């Protein structure tokens, strides 16, 4: 390994990759097709056109094109905050007293505070190309809503965000960032949609859930002319856009002759791990290299480690298409976990197939351990990490400490998907020592698995 590695490895502006990488082209077993819940038949692209933008549907169904050009205007926007640095975490190495080499790719260096802007700007670009007026979406923790607001402000489109009511009330600052970028933010469930009114009538006083906000956002797109719905994770198109992370990381590592042994990312819907790791997974699938890849998920919402690989709905309201994925069941409601971005019952169908094929492993971690790792990282490297990203930090630290025992100098690279400045209530609980972790029981999960749809799973 090159011994003149700078602390922060920056690529130059013109080294930003000009194409996204589609790992599906290299997969022998492709992800299973989306099914129409009404008849169990594979969905046709045109059936999705009332909900999604045409070009994004094309990307969603494209299992064959390996490289997809990034539009010029998207590349232009990327220049505002990309390339993102690959950091050699020398301070953390020292704090852990490990022979391991630790690197992290930092995606928190934009106002949305996460990697989500990489896909938001692409999605809104295609909406603009199609001549649409605006887009609708849901947001839980708020990172995705913020990213989409920023993208809509840039391209001059209207942005309507249904924000889970408890987040809307608990995270007023997130809300104001979105409004500053011009978004209309509605606490969900709301009176503005039929599904919202129905839920409010059935559950007065409910503080909402992601699944309910998705149902409202989809209805809002379907009932307004010139609007479509956009989603911040899970879908194959989102994973595609996020490969900018892994492609930059590959380039930066090549520049300094860094050969990773272990790659780590946290998983909510799978887009940051997928974007970070699939360019490397492609090398594995083509037989060019071998890496150990580890997904880090919360023990309170353990889709990979406790879920089943089956067809399921992506939303609680059961109106979205069926996807084959690792799932805890669409009726599973995770206990309140402070990593809001990881509280999703399902998982990217692409990552699910790769996991099923044994390409990577997954470990679940409990919340207090995650915040302990976040504290160690913050004190050593300066950045206050997002609770979501801290799941990856926890596993990276575990691996580095293993190296300390064995004396091996492995190279560990993880994706730092975002910053935690809007998560200080959670940090407060950790600092006060009042943070706990509620894990789903086998019985609870069994109940959710029994309610999986019959369609696709016979």
Footprint on this chain of ligand PLP (rule: CB under 6 A): 114, 116, 143, 233, 266-272, 341-342, 386, 388-389, 417-418
* φ/ψ bin of 438: left (φ > 0), alpha (ψ from -120 to 50), beta (otherwise): beta
Place of tokens 């999705």: 48
CB of residue 416 vs ligand PLP: minimum separation in angstroms? 8
**Nearer residue to ligand PLP within complex by CB, 272 or 353:** 272
Are 293 and 365 a contacting pair, CB within 8 Å? no
Residue 203 Cβ vs ligand PLP, minimum distance, rounded to whole Å: 26
Contact yes or no for 214/205 (Cβ under 8 A): no
Q: What's the closest the beta carbon of residue 224 comes to ligand PLP, in angstroms?
A: 26
Least distance CB 159 / ligand PLP (angstroms): 17
Tell me the closest approach of the beta carbon of residue 137 to ligand PLP, in angstroms: 13
Minimum Å gap between C-beta 395 and ligand PLP is 14
| 350: nearest Cα among 277, 448, 451 | 277
CA distance 185 to 144: 12
Given the complex with ligand PLP, which of 196 and 420 has the nearer CB atom? 420
Which is nearer to ligand PLP, 195 or 273 (by Cβ)?
A: 273
Coil, strand or helix: which one is 323? strand
**116 or 241: whose CB is closer to ligand PLP?**
116
- Listed in sequence order, the residues at least 6 apart from 310 whose beta carbon sits closer than 8 Å to its beta carbon are 324, 325, 327, 452, 456, 457
CB of 343 to ligand PLP, least distance (A): 9
Angle ∠(174,175,179) on CA atoms, nearest 5 = 120
Contact (CB, 8 A) for 455 and 40: yes
- The nearer residue to ligand PLP, 215 or 233, going by C-beta atoms, is 233
For ligand PLP, the closer CB: 98 or 364: 364
- Among residues 93 and 313, whose Cβ is nearest to ligand PLP? 313
Q: Which two tokens stand for residue 320?
A: 């979205």
Helices and strands (H, E) in the chain, number of each type: 17, 15
Nearest Cα neighbor of 123 from 84, 159, 99, 90 is 159
Query: What Å distances lie between residue 212 and 165, 172, 215, 238, CA to CA?
Result: 10, 20, 5, 21
Angle between the N-to-C axes of helices 54-61 and 117-129, in degrees from 0 to 180, rounded to the nearest 10: 120
- CA 210, 215, 218, 219 torsion-angle sign: negative
Nearer to ligand PLP, 233 or 236 (CB): 233
Residue with the shortest CB distance to ligand PLP: 418
* The token pair that represents 117 in the structure block: 């802007």
Q: Least separation, in Å, of the C-beta of 204 and ligand PLP?
A: 30
Measured from the CB of residue 411, what is the shortest distance to ligand PLP in angstroms?
Answer: 23
Q: Which helix (H) or strand (E) holds 170?
A: helix 165-170
Q: Which residue's CB is nearer to ligand PLP, number 113 or number 456?
A: 113
> 232 or 282: whose CB is closer to ligand PLP?
232
What is the closest distance, in whole angstroms, from the C-beta atom of residue 259 to ligand PLP in the complex? 25
CB nearer ligand PLP, residue 98 or residue 243: 243
- Least Å from the CB of residue 145 to ligand PLP: 11
**What is the distance, to the nearest Å, from the Cα of residue 268 to the centroid of all Cα atoms in its chain?**
5
CB of 240 to ligand PLP, least distance (A): 13
Q: Which residues, 6+ apart, have CB-to-CB distance to 395 below 8 Å?
A: 264, 294, 296, 363, 365, 414
As a whole number of angstroms, the distance between CA 242 and CA 155 comes to 20
Instruction: Give the nearer residue to ligand PLP in terms of CB position, either 139 or 160.
Output: 139
Task: Report d(CA 152, CA 183) in Å as an integer.
Answer: 8
């Amino acid at each position: 390994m090159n011994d003149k590695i700078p602390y922060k490895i920056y690529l130059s502006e013109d080294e930003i990759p000009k194409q996204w990488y589609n790992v599906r082209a290299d997969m022998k077993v492709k992800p299973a097709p989306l099914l129409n819940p009404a008849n169990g038949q594979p969905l046709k692209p045109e059936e999705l056109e009332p909900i999604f933008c045409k070009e994004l549907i094309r990307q969603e169904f494209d299992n064959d094109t390996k490289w997809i050009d990034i539009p010029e205007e998207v590349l232009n926007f990327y220049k505002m905050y990309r390339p993102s640095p690959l950091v050699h975490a020398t301070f953390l190495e020292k704090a852990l007293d490990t022979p391991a080499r630790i690197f992290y790719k930092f995606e928190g260096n934009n106002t949305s505070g996460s990697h989500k802007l990489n896909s938001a700007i692409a999605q809104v670009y295609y909406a603009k190309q199609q001549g649409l007026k605006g887009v609708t979406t849901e947001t839980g923790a708020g990172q995705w809503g913020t990213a989409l607001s920023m993208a809509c402000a840039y391209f001059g489109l209207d942005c309507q965000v249904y924000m889970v009511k408890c987040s809307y009330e608990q995270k007023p600052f997130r809300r104001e960032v979105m409004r500053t970028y011009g978004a209309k933010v509605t606490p969900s469930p709301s009176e503005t949609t039929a599904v919202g009114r129905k839920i409010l009538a059935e559950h007065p006083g409910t503080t909402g859930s992601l699944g309910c906000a998705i149902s409202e956002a989809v209805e809002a797109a379907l009932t307004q002319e010139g609007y479509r719905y956009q989603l911040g994770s899970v879908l194959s198109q989102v994973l595609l856009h996020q490969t900018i992370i892994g492609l930059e990381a590959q380039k930066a590592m090549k520049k300094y002759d860094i050969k990773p042994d272990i790659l780590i990312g946290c998983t909510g819907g799978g887009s940051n791990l997928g974007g970070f790791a699939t360019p490397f997974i492609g090398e594995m699938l083509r037989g060019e290299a071998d890496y150990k890849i580890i997904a880090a998920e919360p023990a309170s919402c353990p889709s990979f480690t406790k879920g089943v690989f089956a067809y399921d709905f992506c939303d609680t309201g059961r109106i979205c298409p069926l996807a084959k994925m690792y799932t805890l069941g669409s009726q599973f409601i995770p206990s309140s976990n402070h990593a809001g971005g990881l509280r999703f019952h399902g998982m990217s169908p692409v990552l699910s197939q790769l996991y099923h094929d044994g390409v990577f492993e997954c470990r679940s971690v409990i919340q207090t351990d995650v915040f302990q790792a976040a504290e160690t990282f913050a004190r050593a490297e300066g950045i206050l990490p997002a609770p979501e990203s801290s799941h990856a930090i926890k596993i990276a630290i575990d691996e580095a400490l293993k190296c300390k025992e064995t004396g091996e100098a492995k190279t560990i690279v993880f994706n730092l998907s975002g910053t935690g400045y809007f998560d200080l209530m959670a940090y407060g609980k950790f600092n006060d020592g009042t943070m706990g972790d509620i894990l789903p029981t086998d019985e609870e999960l069994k109940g959710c698995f029994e309610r999986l749809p019959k369609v696709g799973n016979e």
